[in-house]
């Protein structure tokens, strides 16, 4: 258990901060006077949160006079605009951060979690990310994994919702008894959605040549993961709600009730609550699915995870393709500078292309680059005409081929699969000489 000291004389604010951090798993001690805090300060706190001005003195002045080991604890001061200068002095004396009131409680939680090392209580390696935001998400996933409540994961496409669902299933004590059944609700045809979810008996409809177990039945004693659940047609939403409430349903063509006990995890890149207001998603189904709601932030808002994901993904890609690969610093800097609007899925695709196009086992910016993506930097150069982009790509590719063939035009033409005449014409047009550096 992580022990946190809170020093705050405002009863409403103190109670709010206390409850929020206890929800995050901190054992929080709340002192409303500096005198009370002085008697507890030598205990092993992972962090201290303190108002600047309390009824019995300035916390910053007290902090500046404390011993170095105590001031080495991460201190976070809360201050009104009138005492910012005092908070700045505390920062100079060794405090970690100050927040001006009214402050964002989520930012305070993130800062404290980061300073306290918020991987997880058991010290397992991170699965979803190392950024403060994703460590909080993973902590919540681990916290609810052992329960059977329904969980809704939301976030943009590619942020890792299915990875989080898999982790929840893996940590569920019941996982050895049942499967993880993933359903892409957007990919099931409307005409087959009921048959795929509930199953059917032989002869239930034309083409039903044998009995079929549906998603709900196959998830018995396991996890049913409903990806893009907001894409379910309205009629199916009503039938799914009934099945979730009763944990029973009828196969198509059957008069016998089928029982199935499963845990439901849903995911959506849409705002389902807004969908309930618009009438596109059933409100009662939303509250059935979102007993716990976990929002996953986009990759561009957690840059700490980009390098971590890149290294993990490259290990997986190298293992799949069986070819060793190294990454240059320039390539890594380019990766870290992109926005990755397509999130982890776009990053994975980019790395796979880069590995395929790489030469000599090195990922480098001098290598043929994968196609441009939506993650180009916000300060990128203006777009050029397509003809100019094609010409530049040809120029780079031909120069590299010439270098690999030690300047031999004949060998270069053979490598590129074109005639010497065509190669000479392209070299003249693109202003390339056989002696040009690659």
Query: Is this prediction's pTM over 0.95?
Result: no
Domains 300-363 and 386-429 share a fold: no
Tell me what pLDDT residue 393 has. Answer: 77
- Cβ atoms 398, 361 nearer than 8 A: no
CA angle 111-116-119, nearest 5°? 100
Residues 6+ apart with CB under 8 A from 260: 216, 217, 219, 220, 247, 248, 249
Separate counts of helices (H) and strands (E) for the chain: 19, 16
Written as tens digits, the pLDDT of the chain (438 aa) is 689 999 999 888 899 899 889 888 899 999 999 999 999 998 889 899 999 989 988 998 999 888 877 887 889 999 876 666 776 677 767 777 788 777 778 888 888 887 776 444 444 567 899 888 898 899 899 888 888 889 999 999 999 999 999 999 998 887 657 899 999 999 998 888 999 999 998 888 888 888 899 999 999 999 999 999 999 999 999 999 999 999 999 999 888 999 999 999 999 999 998 999 999 999 999 999 999 999 999 999 998 899 889 988 888 887 787 766 777 777 888 898 889 999 999 999 999 888 888 776 778 775 555 555 555 544 444 455 666 667 777 877 888 778 777 777 778 887 888 877 788 878 877 777 665 444
Cα(417)–Cα(289) distance, rounded to whole angstroms? 57
Cis-peptide into 102, omega within 30 deg: yes
Assigned CATH for 300-363: 1.10.8.60
The candidate with the shortest Cα–Cα distance to 214, out of 227, 197, 190, 239, is 197
**What gap in Å lies between CA 264 and CA 288, rounded to an integer?**
10
Measured in whole angstroms, the distance separating CA 206 from the mean position of its chain's CA atoms is 43
What's the rounded Cα separation, in Å, for the pair 430 and 397? Answer: 11
Instruction: Return the CATH architecture of domain 2-116.
Output: 3-Layer(aba) Sandwich (3.40)
Q: Which of 322, 264, 314, 270 is nearest to 290 (CA)?
A: 264
pLDDT in the model for residue 119:
42
The values of phi and psi at residue 398, to 5°, are -65, -40
Where along the chain do its domains lie?
A: 2-116, 132-295, 300-363, 386-429
Rounded to 5°, the CA angle 117-119-120 comes to 110
The rounded distance, in Å, linking the Cα atoms of 419 and 409 is 10
- Hey, which CATH number is domain 132-295, 3.30.70.260, 3.40.50.300, 1.20.140.10, 1.10.287.990? 3.40.50.300
Do strands 248-250 and 257-259 pair parallel, antiparallel, or not at all (unpaired)? antiparallel
- pLDDT at residue 123, rounded to an integer: 45
Q: Considering the domain 386-429, what is its CATH architecture?
A: Orthogonal Bundle (1.10)
């Amino acid at each position: 258990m992580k022990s946190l000291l809170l020093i705050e004389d405002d009863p409403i604010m103190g109670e709010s901060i206390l409850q929020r951090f206890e929800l995050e798993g901190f054992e929080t001690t709340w002192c409303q006077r500096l005198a009370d805090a002085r008697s507890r300060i030598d205990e092993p706190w992972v962090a201290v949160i303190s108002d600047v001005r309390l009824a019995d003195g300035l916390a910053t002045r007290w902090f500046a006079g404390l011993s170095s080991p105590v001031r080495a604890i991460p201190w976070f001061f809360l201050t009104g605009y009138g005492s910012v200068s005092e908070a700045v002095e505390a920062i100079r004396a060794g405090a970690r951060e100050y927040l001006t009131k009214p402050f964002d409680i989520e930012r305070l939680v993130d800062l404290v979690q980061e300073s306290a090392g918020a991987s997880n209580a058991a010290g397992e390696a991170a699965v979803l990310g190392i950024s403060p935001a994703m460590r909080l998400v993973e902590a919540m996933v681990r916290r609810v994994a052992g329960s059977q409540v329904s969980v809704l994961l939301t976030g943009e496409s590619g942020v890792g919702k299915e990875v989080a669902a898999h982790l929840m299933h893996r940590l569920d004590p019941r996982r050895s008894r049942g499967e993880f059944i993933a359903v892409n609700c957007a990919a099931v045809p409307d005409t087959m959605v009921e048959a795929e979810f509930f199953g059917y008996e032989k002869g239930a409809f034309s083409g039903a040549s044998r009995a079929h177990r549906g998603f709900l039945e196959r998830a018995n004693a396991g996890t049913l993961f409903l990806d893009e659940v907001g894409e379910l047609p309205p009629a199916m939403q009503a039938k799914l709600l009934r099945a979730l409430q009763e944990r029973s349903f009828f196969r198509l063509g059957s008069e016998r009730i089928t029982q199935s006990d499963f845990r439901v995890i849903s995911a959506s890149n849409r705002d389902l609550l807004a969908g309930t207001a618009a009438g596109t998603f059933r409100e009662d189904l939303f509250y059935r699915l979102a007993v716990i709601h976990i929002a996953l932030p986009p990759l561009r808002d957690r840059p700490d995870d980009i390098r971590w994901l890149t290294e993990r993904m490259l290990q997986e890609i190298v293992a799949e393709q069986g070819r060793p690969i190294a990454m240059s610093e320039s390539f890594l800097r380019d990766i870290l500078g992109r926005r990755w609007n397509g999130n982890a899925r776009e990053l994975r695709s980019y790395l796979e292309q880069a590995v395929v196009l790489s030469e000599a086992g090195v990922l480098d910016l001098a290598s043929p680059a994968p196609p441009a993506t939506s993650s180009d930097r916000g300060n990128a150069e203006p777009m050029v005409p397509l003809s100019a982009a094609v010409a530049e790509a040809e120029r780079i590719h031909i120069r590299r081929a010439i270098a690999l063939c030690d300047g031999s035009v004949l060998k270069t033409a053979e490598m590129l699969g074109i005639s010497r005449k065509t190669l000479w014409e392209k070299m003249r047009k693109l202003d390339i000489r056989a002696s040009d550096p690659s």
